[in-house]
Amino acid sequence: MDNTTFKGVLVTQPDGKFHAAITDIPRQQLPSGELLIRVAYSSLNYKDGLAVTGKPGVIRIYPMVPGIDLAGIVEESASPDFRPGDAVVATGCGTSETHWGGYAQLARLKADWVTPVPTGMSLVHAMGVGTAGFTAMQSVMSLEDHGAKPGGRAIAVTGAAGGVGSVSIAILAKLGYTVVASTGRRELDGYLRGLGAHDIIDRAELAAASKRPLESERWGGAIDSVGGDTLSGLLRTMSIGGSVASCGVAGGGPFSTTVFPFILRGVNLLGIDSLRVPNVRRRQIWARIAADLDLALLDSMIRIEPLENIFELGAQILEGRVRGRTVIQVT
């Protein structure tokens, strides 16, 4: 590699067949954007697992550098908002879908997609948060916007041992909520309690089939990264005026419900879209993350892996074998 190339994961589709490899990429192939960023770290999210293993639904153009998150240092800037040397973070802004992402040593992005790394937070912390933690904070803020307050019924967090779940538990517990974690990996009970979970239930409890449109009120709110039957169960057991922040499909897209949770209990089903977030709102979310996420707890969620392991890690997250947050060291 010389200064005309950089190392990264490149996904191509020769003859219609998926191919991905770590290779030297010419700088001249970088897409357009006001900022040239030297990427230090990226992260591993469920969508990244899909992208690097050739599953459909993420990559829309080829060739593609995957990695929906990145944190690094600005090398060149055509924007008045950033200068060379600035530490910056970008999450879920079309990267790995229609724009090259973070699994490479260089990235060129639009300035509107990028935010400064909050004061006191390292680049590793920024990627420990990543899209998963950003989505968690976005979900908490959406629950708050719809009336959630500490001191009421418990907040359920599904997919609790994953990235969104882990960060959600830590934030909610710090804010004073009673948190119940739902997981299929009971060997991680100690980890979840360490993050602040008051109680832990088996995921099968929420996903159990029922012929009743409503069941006993149990939850003041929920952050659901699973979907499917789990989301159905949450809606049936939500308390009056409670809200479910729906932010993932690890358990499947289709779910079954009736109108009764909505018309008899005023339940709110809140869709969380972490992609189309205006820059002003992004900065607000990152400010809340800096204020309300204990960095020591974040450290306990993080493991750092080299870029060379990304293909194996991608398979692991799709199989539900990744705990917390995986940070990918790129440079």
pLDDT digits (tens, 9 = 90+) for 40-64: 999 999 999 999 999 988 999 999 9
- DSSP conformation class of 237: T
Q: How far is CA 193 from the centre of its chain?
A: 21
Asked whether residue 182 falls in the same domain as residue 207, the answer is yes
Asked whether residue 214 falls in the same domain as residue 111, the answer is no
pLDDT at 1: 52
User: Is 217 part of a structural domain of the chain?
Assistant: yes
Q: Could you tell me what percent of the chain has a pLDDT over 90? A: 94
Please give the tally of structural domains in the chain.
2
- DSSP conformation class of 104: B
Asked which of 271, 304, 321 is the last residue of a domain, the reply is 271
User: Is 284 part of a structural domain of the chain?
Assistant: no
pLDDT at 13: 92
User: Is 312 part of a structural domain of the chain?
Assistant: yes
Give the range of the structural domain holding residue 248, as residue numbers without chain letter: 132-271
Asked whether residue 88 falls in the same domain as residue 137, the answer is no
Asked whether residue 78 falls in the same domain as residue 109, the answer is yes
User: Torsion-angle region of residue 248: left (phi > 0), alpha (psi -120 to 50) or beta?
Assistant: beta
List pLDDT tens digits, range 157-176: 999 999 999 999 999 999 99
Asked whether residue 193 falls in the same domain as residue 324, the answer is no
Mean pLDDT, residues 4-12 taken together: 97
Neighbours of 188 (CB within 10 A): 19
Length of the chain in terms of residues written? 331
Residue 230 CA to residue 13 CA, distance in Å, equals: 36
pLDDT at 266: 98
Asked whether residue 153 falls in the same domain as residue 224, the answer is yes
Please enumerate in sequence order all residues whose Cβ is within 8 A of that of 292, keeping only pairs 6 or more positions apart, or say none. Answer: 137, 140, 171, 174, 175
Residue 109 CA to residue 113 CA, distance in Å, equals: 7
* pLDDT band (50, 70, 90) for residue 222: very high
* Runs of H (alpha helix) within 86-227: 123-145, 163-175, 189-195, 203-207
Mean pLDDT, residues 287-306 taken together: 97
Domain CATH number, residue 255: 3.40.50.720
Residue 125 CA to residue 148 CA, distance in Å, equals: 27
List pLDDT tens digits, range 241-272: 999 999 998 888 999 999 999 999 999 999 99
Residue 135 CA to residue 95 CA, distance in Å, equals: 16
93 or 105: whose pLDDT is higher? 105
pLDDT at 58: 93
Task: Please state whether beta strands 268-271 and 238-246 pair in parallel, antiparallel, or not at all (unpaired).
Answer: parallel
